[in-house]
């Protein structure tokens, strides 16, 4: 048996977020194109050097990006939306970043979740344009590694089926046209890589773990038959992840030289397929046996046993030992985390530590001299020590979760009755205007927070600053004539981290960054113990803001499922039990806000959908406990108290029913980049509760006009009753500049007033 250590992909942001800093400096015109490219080249090469130093046998290239790899692939094939007036040839930086972020004349391309992760990709748009290979970016990365390090790396790119499935714009009539244009470009890329000396080429096909119908299976076969016929000399590793390979019996016969399978998240399905169907003896098997999506140390004895079982079932001639997915979903190294609980730290493995696990396992399987037995024992001891940690022994919390009843999930009255009561109690105008919660976190806000954290600013001085900033923005909102206000969240860094810091059971890192979208990086909290509410978290700030105005101020919380899905979660309890622990803690915070006189409370669940199993037939169990977690947190309030929630980018067309099941009085949905699709969906499946369809995209610096937003509002009224419809941006405004925020909100309010006047005139006439 031959063994090779390799990766599907490695984080590209740098240990100190050098990538993000260079990107944003370039956007601010502080770096020339030449200096920007040079900085990113340095980061790109340092990643390869790191993998070589850690002993990876086969380095992967093509996993680096200037913004997003789906965007890279789309623009490499000339899929530039017509509104950006691209004239052909290599795509310049201005066009590249305009597609990603929008510009003064054109809205950005849609952004949505990468399968069931918290990473967002740019959705390719097909408009019938003539496709062309504008630049073989993967070839450039391959040659760079070859020239710099003298290695034959494994180039990787998004596979043709996944890229096709994730593109929008084609229909039943144009999909064949699109495929006929797309496949020759993949052929050209493969041919150029082979000619340059590539011995293996990785095509990432995560869409092949979804449920496939016979027509889709046939299409996959036709695509790969065409590639194999056109470039027979190409050795393709067809890489899947996030679940088991679907339609294994049919797809395992594809004309490729290797399959990469996930034996962590897809363990059950892939092992069953190996038992039932075996594995083609002429192919290499890539085995994802180290979890590429969590931060916990592997039990090396168990992983070794899994490898042995795979060997016996597959009889593969060669195994590639690798993570279950691209390591971009985890931080880079634990070596920078010097303030963590030692018991916790020794149980962690970030990207570099996972590489050490992979190379160690590969050497052990290759040499079989028992040299890693001590390390097997070490990993087990670390895992056992965390299991016995006092922070995991809160019997009261465990008992509270076990005694939750159906009644704990229900409001006192149904929505129709609550709506009437709330309309009388709140007295809001038609089409109430509001924002999602956060306002721009200026350099001054960040400086003061950093100074306070470093104890260079006293608690009293910091609180005074926060109060002044809140007071200023309450005044700005009143001047803009927004109906329901927010305090601005200037005390908060990340919407999950802030709550985790106030609850028990959480740990926080200093440098453990991962990318969420674009240059937006987050440090997910680590839920490693039992979660409990200790004292009020948001009451002081919300009550202060409410004291400054006669208008209603929303209380702002992050929901239990989002806290769960945007954290690294302990793996000794079910996710349902952890979610219920968080929900019970937030329930106390909701009650504390209500007791403090806050009449509107928003509990955001932007990550509700991303926890869904990838296969639709498995959604039911997750949705039951996820929806119940939200209801557990919010259902104890009076009928007069209005519960809001908010959701981010996701496909809502098949998700209206779970959204309604949350039983929130008002939901705001982030849909400005895909507004038309949601309107069509709501025509088919109406939504009856309060809803705000985000009327402009906050992820772009452009300020939309009053007419642009008015058009979206009028479209919304085609499918919503006027008494349902709220007006708001599509997400929080933390990352925007103050001037663009105020200008956009002024246009939003003006458009709302125009709409009110038009509706009132039509009603009276």
Question: Which positions make up the binding site for Zn(2+)?
Answer: 646, 648, 670, 731
Q: Cβ contacts of residue 221 below 8 Å, gap of 6+?
A: 250, 251, 254
Q: What is the dihedral of CA 659, 660, 663, 664, to 10 degrees?
A: 60
* DSSP per-residue letters across 658-717: HHHHT--SEEEE--GGGHHHHHHHHHHS---SEEEE--S-TTSS----HHHHHHHHHHHT
> What ranges make up the beta strands (E) of 501-553?
506-507, 514-517, 520-522, 526-527
Q: Which residues are annotated as a binding site for 5-methyltetrahydropteroyltri-L-glutamate?
A: 17-20, 113, 520-521, 566, 610
Lookup: tokens for 177 = 């046209």
Q: CA–CA separation, 458 vs 466, rounded Å?
A: 12
Q: CA–CA separation, 192 vs 669, rounded Å?
A: 44
Q: CA–CA separation, 268 vs 745, rounded Å?
A: 50
Which residues pair with residue 725 across a beta bridge?
A: 691
Q: CA–CA separation, 141 vs 169, rounded Å?
A: 30
Active site residue 699: yes
Q: CA–CA separation, 285 vs 260, rounded Å?
A: 6
Question: Angle between the 675-684 and 706-716 helix axes, to the nearest 10 degrees?
Answer: 20
Q: CA–CA separation, 68 vs 732, rounded Å?
A: 22
Lookup: tokens for 744 = 């956009």
Q: Which residues are annotated as a binding site for L-homocysteine?
A: 436-438, 489, 604
> 237 near 154, Cβ under 8 Å?
yes
Q: CA–CA separation, 500 vs 517, rounded Å?
A: 22
Residue 383: other Cβ atoms inside 10 A:
18
Of 120, 487, 644, 699, the catalytic one is: 699
* DSSP per-residue letters across 163-207: HHHH-BS--TTTHHHHHHHHHHHHHHHHHHHHHTT-S-EEEE-GG
Q: CA–CA separation, 435 vs 360, rounded Å?
A: 51
> 651 near 112, Cβ under 8 Å?
yes
Helices (H), 548-607: 560-565, 575-595
Q: Which residues are annotated as a binding site?
A: 17-20, 113, 436-438, 489, 520-521, 566, 604, 610, 646, 648, 670, 731
Task: Give the residue among 350, 344, 411 at the shortest CA–CA distance from 382.
Answer: 344
Q: CA–CA separation, 549 vs 686, rounded Å?
A: 36
> 601 near 590, Cβ under 8 Å?
yes
Lookup: tokens for 243 = 């679940």
Which residues pair with residue 155 across a beta bridge?
A: 61
Which residues pair with residue 258 across a beta bridge?
A: 237, 284
Q: Cβ contacts of residue 145 below 8 Å, gap of 6+?
A: 45, 48, 59, 61, 151, 153
Lookup: tokens for 608 = 């509700």
Lookup: tokens for 678 = 């949601």
C-alpha 584 chain-centroid distance = 25
C-alpha 617 chain-centroid distance = 22
Active site residues: 699
């Amino acid at each position: 048996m031959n063994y090779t250590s390799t990766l599907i992909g490695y984080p590209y942001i740098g240990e100190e977020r050098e990538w993000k800093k260079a990107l944003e400096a370039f956007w601010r015109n502080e770096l020339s194109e030449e200096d920007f490219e040079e900085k990113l080249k340095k980061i790109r090469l340092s990643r390869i050097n790191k993998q070589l130093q850690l002993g990876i046998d086969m380095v992967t290239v093509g996993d680096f990006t200037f913004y997003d790899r789906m965007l890279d692939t789309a623009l490499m094939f000339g899929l530039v939306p017509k509104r950006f007036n691209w004239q052909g040839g290599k795509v310049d930086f201005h066009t590249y970043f305009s597609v990603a972020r929008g510009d003064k004349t054109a809205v950005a391309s849609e952004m949505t979740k990468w399968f069931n992760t918290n990473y967002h990709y740019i959705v390719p748009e097909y408009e019938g344009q003539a496709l062309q290979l504008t630049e073989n970016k993967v070839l450039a990365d391959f040659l760079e590694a070859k020239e710099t390090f003298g290695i034959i790396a494994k180039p990787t790119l998004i596979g043709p089926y996944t890229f096709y499935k994730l593109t929008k714009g084609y229909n039943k009539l144009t999909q064949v046209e699109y495929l006929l244009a797309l496949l020759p470009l993949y052929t050209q890329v493969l041919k150029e890589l082979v000619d340059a000396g590539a011995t293996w080429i990785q095509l990432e096909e995560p869409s092949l773990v979804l449920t496939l119908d016979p027509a889709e299976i046939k299409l996959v076969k036709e695509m790969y038959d065409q590639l194999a016929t056109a470039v027979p000399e190409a050795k393709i590793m067809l890489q899947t992840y996030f679940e088991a390979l679907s339609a294994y019996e049919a797809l395992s016969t594809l004309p490729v030289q290797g399959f990469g399978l996930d034996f962590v998240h897809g363990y059950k399905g892939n092992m069953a397929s190996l038992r039932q169907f075996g594995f083609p003896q002429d192919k290499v098997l890539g085995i994802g046996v180290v979890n590429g999506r969590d931060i916990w140390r592997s039990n090396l004895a168990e992983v070794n046993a899994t490898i042995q079982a795979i060997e016996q079932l597959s009889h593969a001639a060669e195994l590639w030992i690798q993570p279950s997915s691209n390591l971009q979903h985890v931080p880079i190294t634990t070596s920078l985390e010097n303030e963590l609980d030692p018991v916790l730290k020794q149980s962690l493995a970030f990207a570099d530590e996972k590489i050490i696990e992979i190379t160690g396992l590969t050497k052990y399987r290759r040499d079989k001299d028992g040299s890693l037995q001590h390390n097997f024992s070490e990993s087990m001891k670390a895992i056992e020590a965390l299991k016995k940690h006092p922070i995991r022994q809160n019997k009261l919390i465990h008992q509270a979760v076990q005694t939750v009843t159906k009644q704990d999930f229900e409001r006192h009255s149904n929505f129709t009755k609550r709506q009437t009561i709330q309309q009388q109690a709140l007295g809001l105008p038609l089409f109430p205007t509001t924002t999602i919660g956060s306002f721009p976190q200026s350099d001054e806000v960040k400086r003061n927070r950093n100074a306070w954290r470093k104890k260079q600013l006293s608690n009293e001085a910091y609180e005074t600053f926060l109060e002044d900033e809140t007071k200023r923005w309450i005044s700005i909102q009143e001047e803009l004539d927004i109906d329901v206000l927010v305090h601005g969240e200037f005390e908060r860094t990340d919407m999950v981290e802030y709550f985790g810091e106030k609850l028990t059971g959480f740990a926080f890192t200093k440098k453990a960054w991962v990318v969420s979208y674009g240059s937006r990086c987050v440090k997910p909290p680590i839920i490693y113990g039992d979660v409990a509410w200790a004292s009020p978290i948001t009451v002081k700030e919300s009550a202060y803001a409410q004291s400054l105005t006669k208008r209603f101020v929303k209380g702002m919380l992050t929901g239990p499922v989002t806290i769960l899905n945007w954290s690294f979660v302990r793996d000794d309890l079910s996710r349902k039990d952890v979610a219920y622990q968080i929900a019970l803690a937030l329930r106390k915070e909701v009650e504390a806000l209500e007791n403090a006189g806050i009449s509107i409370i928003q509990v955001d669940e932007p990550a509700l959908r991303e926890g869904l199993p990838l296969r639709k037939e498995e959604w039911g169990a997750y949705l039951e406990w996820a929806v119940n977690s939200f209801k557990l947190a919010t259902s104890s309030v009076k009928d007069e108290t209005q519960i809001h929630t908010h959701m981010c980018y996701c496909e809502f067309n098949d998700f209206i029913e779970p959204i309604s099941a949350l039983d929130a009085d008002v939901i705001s949905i982030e849909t400005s980049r895909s507004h038309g699709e949601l309107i069509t969906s709501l025509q088919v499946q109406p939504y009856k509760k309060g809803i705000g369809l985000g009327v402009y995209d906050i992820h772009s610096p452009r300020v939309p006009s009053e007419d642009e937003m008015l058009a979206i509002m009028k479209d919304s009224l085609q499918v919503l009753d006027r008494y349902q419809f709220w007006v708001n941006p599509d997400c929080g405004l933390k990352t925007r500049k103050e001037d663009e925020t105020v200008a956009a909100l002024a246009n939003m309010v003006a458009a709302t007033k125009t709409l009110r006047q038009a509706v009132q005139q039509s009603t009276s006439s």
